[in-house]
Amino acid sequence: MLALACAAACASAASAPARPAVSLARLAGETVMSPLTGPPGPTFLARVRAGELGGVILVGHWPSAAVMAATTRTLQAAACTAGEPLLIGVDQEGGVVRRLPWAAPFETPAELGRLDDAGRVEQEAAAAAAALRRAGVDVDFAPVADTRASAKSFLGSRSFGQDPALVGSLAAAFVQGLQTAGVAATAKHFPGLGTATVNTDDRAVTIRAAPGLLQRGLDPFRRAVDAGAKLVMVASAAYPSLDPSGRPAVFSRPIVTGLLRGTLGFHGVVVSDALDAPGAVSTPHATTLAIEAGVDILLYTSDWVSRQGYASLLADAAGSPALRTELARAGARIRTLKAWLTAAGGPSCG
């Protein structure tokens, strides 16, 4: 299974746009996505110009579309001095989880799930995409493709529901709505957090659900992948029944490369859940382990920790040809995504 997955991933990488050889520092930097809570300062922009960041996630509370749009323009201008646009993403799931409080979906995923109307979900996602594009955002870390196993799930209203078929149908519709309007969708949190009763952002989580229940939870991710989702976010929870090593999914090659890329046939960009979360931050060489597992984008919600992660990855890559090969593959997949976004009217340095 792993060999087939690698072959598929390599074939996808081979289709990425060609570019001149880049430094190891740039190769490592393009995998790092750091957070920003407001207009960037000189130090942050210097990192962008130096190629130490490949992406930015806008977090916190943004007062207006104008402020966000001005920020993204500044970021892209800095990025283009290094030759390539940034990926700029937000969490725009709907309801309470919206970085653009003025934009759709105003209903929570759970409320949309109760309507059981894929057409309505696609329309809401398209409206969200239009607002994101106006703000200069090209990646939405949505939809949540997790199926709530019970009312005890910490996801609450963030999930479309408890029926995998319903969740899969609406997740696929959300993907289509976003991407038809030129914003890349992200199915999350693979391979599923529907049975978790606590948030992985707050503490380390181990999912001990029976294999059959976990398999049912994979169906919505399969639907999202089949709908063409450009990204999949991998959870920081551990799944011993899927990887007996007990490593969090984001560090697990059997889960990322074997299950996601192999079994589900996903050839797009894999993004980690926050690597500064409790289940990941204490892991030595976390960035290296994630890249070796098959992750492409290393996501952080702490700028300071993202700096540490970049330095660790760069140091490890200097002494590991195998890691440099994986970084090149990740970079190729990221560039393929950027090319799709540019073709859809997104950012370009041309």
Q: What is the pLDDT of residues 254-297, one digit of tens each?
A: 999 999 999 999 999 999 999 999 989 989 999 999 999 999 99
How far apart are the C-alpha atoms of 55 and 303, rounded to whole Å?
Answer: 12
Q: Look at residue 162 and give its three-state secondary structure.
A: coil
Q: What is the pLDDT of residues 195-246, one digit of tens each?
A: 999 999 999 999 998 888 999 999 999 999 999 999 999 999 999 999 999 9
The pTM for the full model equals: 0.93
- Give me the pLDDT at residue 29, please: 97
CA atoms within 13 A on the CB side of 326: 23
Name the average pLDDT for the chain.
Answer: 93
| For residues 154-159, average pLDDT | 96
How far apart are the C-alpha atoms of 136 and 248, rounded to whole Å?
Answer: 33
How far apart are the C-alpha atoms of 31 and 82, rounded to whole Å?
Answer: 15
Note whether 174 and 167 are within 8 A (CB).
Answer: no
Ranges of each domain in the chain: 36-343
- Give me the pLDDT at residue 134, please: 96
- Confidence check: pLDDT of 92 > 50: yes
- Give me the pLDDT at residue 233, please: 98
Q: What is the pLDDT of residues 14-66, one digit of tens each?
A: 444 455 567 999 999 999 999 999 999 999 999 999 999 999 999 998 989 99
Q: What is the pLDDT of residues 101-145, one digit of tens each?
A: 999 999 999 999 999 999 999 999 999 999 999 999 999 999 999
Q: What residues contact residue 308 under an 8 Å CB cut-off, 6+ apart?
A: none
Note whether 9 and 261 are within 8 A (CB).
Answer: yes
- Split at pLDDT 50, 70, 90, the class of 12 is very low
Q: Counting every residue, how long is the chain?
A: 350
CATH among 3.40.50.300, 3.10.310.10, 3.30.1600.10, 3.20.20.300 for 36-343: 3.20.20.300
